[in-house]
Each structure stands twice: as C-alpha cells, then as structure tokens.
Amino acid sequence: MKTLLFILYGGKSVEHEISLKTALTVIPSIDPRKFDVYPIYITPEGVWCSHGKLSSVPAEIKDLVLLPSFGQAASSLGDIMTRFFSLAGNKVVLPLLHGSNGEDGTIQGLLELIDVPYVGNGVLSSAVALDKAVSKELLSHAGIPQVEYRNFQYAQWTLNAEEVSRSINENIGYPCYVKPASLGSSIGISRCENEEELRDAMATAFRYDRKIVVEKEVAGREIQVAVMGNEQPLVSVPGEFIQDKSFFDYNAKYVDGRLTMSIPADIPEHLADRIQRTAKLAYQTLQCAGLARVDFFIDPQERLYLNEINTLPGFTKFSMYPVMWEKTDGTTYSELIEKLIDYAFMRHLEKQSIQYSR
C-alpha cells in the first residue's frame, strides 16, 4: 500500500518564493509507485489550499500556486485536516517551508499535536536553529568556535542607537555583517564598512525581525557540509561555492544562476575531518534531527568558525545539500528524499514509547 505524502510549501514568510522553487524540484522527484502525493499550498496570507492527490507533475511555479476556493478544493487548515489527514494508511509530512511560520517550530508543533510523522527537525531544534542569537549562545557553551558577534533588540536600537553603534565599533569593528536573527536566504543581510552603512543596515534588518545579530567579517572561505540522521547523524564531504562576491546575497543564491560548486572542497584532509566533527557536534548540541546544512568560515591560518546551521536547506537546482550527498556516497536526489522520510518514520516510532500517564 502506498504511503500518503503531504508536501507543505509556500507559507507566510518572506522566503515564500524559495519554498516554491524547492517544491518545484522536490515534487517531480517523488516515486509515484511508492507515494501518493498531496501538495498543500500555504498562501502568503497563511491560507492552506489543496486539490487533493497530485494528478499531474507541476512543470513551473504557477502550477504550484493554488487559490482558495469552494467545492472540491480544500481552502482552509481545518478543511485539509478533515479531508486528507483523516485518510486511512501510512502518512508522512514533508515541510518545505523556509523561514518564519514553517522553519521556526510552528508547523512542527502542529504536526506533533496531530501525531503525524514529519521530515526534519522538531519544535525545539527548529526554533533554536532559526534564531541565530539563541543558537550562537548555545553553540558557544558547547565550545564551538564562532566569529565575534553581538545581539541587539529593536528597543535597544530605538532607545539608544549611539550606545549600540559604540558597542559595535569597539567589539566588532568593520567590515561587519548585520543580520535579522530569524531569517535565511540572505534576506535582510547587509555588509557594512563604516558607521553610516551600519545605520542603514540596522534599519533594513529591523524591517524583518525585532532582534538582529552583528558579526565580524572573516577574510577567508566559506565551507559547508550536509548532515543527515537522528541521534547518530552522518556528515557529507565538505563543499564550497566559488565566490566572486563579498557575500552571497539573495540574487546570487537564487536569481543569477552563476554559482559554481566545488565538491569535495579543495581543503586538506585534516581540515575536512575537523569540519565534519564540529558539524556533528553542533547538530547534536541543537538536538537536530532529519537534516541540516552546517556552514563554516576558514581563515588563511586554517582557523575554523561555525557560521550557522540551516535546518531546512534549499533543494533547488542551485542548492548544495543534495549535491554534497551525491558526491559523498552516490545518493541520488530521489533516494535522498526517501532516506529523509525513513528518518521521519524512525523518529516518530521511537517517540511512541514515551509514556504520558502515571
């Protein structure tokens, strides 16, 4: 009997478009002999929509955009729960929701409440990893090296911008990066070379979040690894994007299409081993499950700094995560999706042993 696979995409997030691009790559890769696919589109306003079981593979983004309607199409979360999540058979959810209201533990909490297996990280790890300010503090306590950083709240900036600027000048310096604490895909991030640029960058970042992170720039290379698994995760060979910019903004990642991957990254074996061990430690420190991409900086003296952990790395044609696994052990795109689904079922089964009564 086929497994019912519910794929969530879109979402009330500034990363809505990235989610659509991910879904457009993932859905055609699903083996129809093993899965009945139920695409569920969440509009930018947060409305859940589905036409039920997939009847034809989407060829372009517009095929994924479902509009709220009445009749055969489900046009609310309650409607989808009643019509589709109540169907008999094995079920699993594949959330492809990047950023707010999807990668931050909110969807994961809903799926925990209705007791349905789902791919990827749980409530705690999703929320913690997306919040750079919190994750940096936890990783620091675990002894994982990171670049010099400071976290600031919106109220701090509005009440005393001069004091915040002075703290950044004295403790971080320039160049530095200003980032919204809880976003990905380089949205809202700015590189600053002076205090005037810093003020503009703070205004930009605070449009997307009430909390920001300011980090010192590392002159060096950015290396990534893919991690997969639950309590005993596997780590891929390191990969690297060949840079022609000071940093990868949104256009460089998703629009220009000029990124060049180097997998495995051209680094010494001892450094690759250190990256893999540190990535595994970081993954376990944040109690990740299913998958994550871990990003590092390496300076010319081979000093290693963890940049961030992405608990829902992109699966677009420009994305590093699936390619790193293919280069590591030959895992194809379709096989990777199925492995992640298997980890979801394993984690859900293990949780069934938890006792909820005395």
Closest CA to 236 of 200, 276, 180: 276
The amino acid at 17? E
Q: Collapsing DSSP states into helix, strand and coil, what is residue 269?
A: helix
Residue 170's contacts (CB-CB under 8 Å, 6 or more residues apart) are: none
The radius of gyration of the chain's CA atoms, rounded to the nearest angstrom, is 21
Catalytic residue among 19, 135, 190, 319: 319
Q: Hey, is 54 helix, strand or coil? A: coil
Closest CA to 42 of 92, 107, 129: 107
Please state, as a whole number, how many other Cβ atoms lie within 10 Å of the Cβ of residue 256: 14
Is 90 marked as binding a ligand?
Answer: no
Closest CA to 7 of 42, 32, 45, 34: 42
> How many other β-carbons are positioned within 10 Å of the β-carbon of residue 18?
26
Those residues whose C-beta lies under 8 Å from the C-beta of residue 351, and which sit 6 or more positions away, are none
| 310 in a labelled binding site | yes
Token digits for 285?
């420190």
Considering 15, 215, 217, 222, which one is annotated as catalytic? 15
197 an active-site residue? no
135 included as an active-site residue: no
Buried/exposed 30-40: b ≥16 CB within 10 Å, e otherwise: beeeebbbbbb
Which of 19, 100, 185, 190 is labelled catalytic? 185
163 is catalytic: no
> What's the CA gap between 89 and 148, in Å, rounded?
50
Beta strands in the chain (DSSP E): 3-10, 35-42, 48-49, 91-95, 149-153, 176-180, 190-192, 211-216, 221-229, 234-235, 239-242, 260-262, 290-298, 304-310
Longest dimension (CA), the chain: 64
Q: Which residues are catalytic?
A: 15, 185, 319
| Feature table: binding site | 295, 308, 310
List residues forming the annotated binding site for Mg(2+).
295, 308, 310
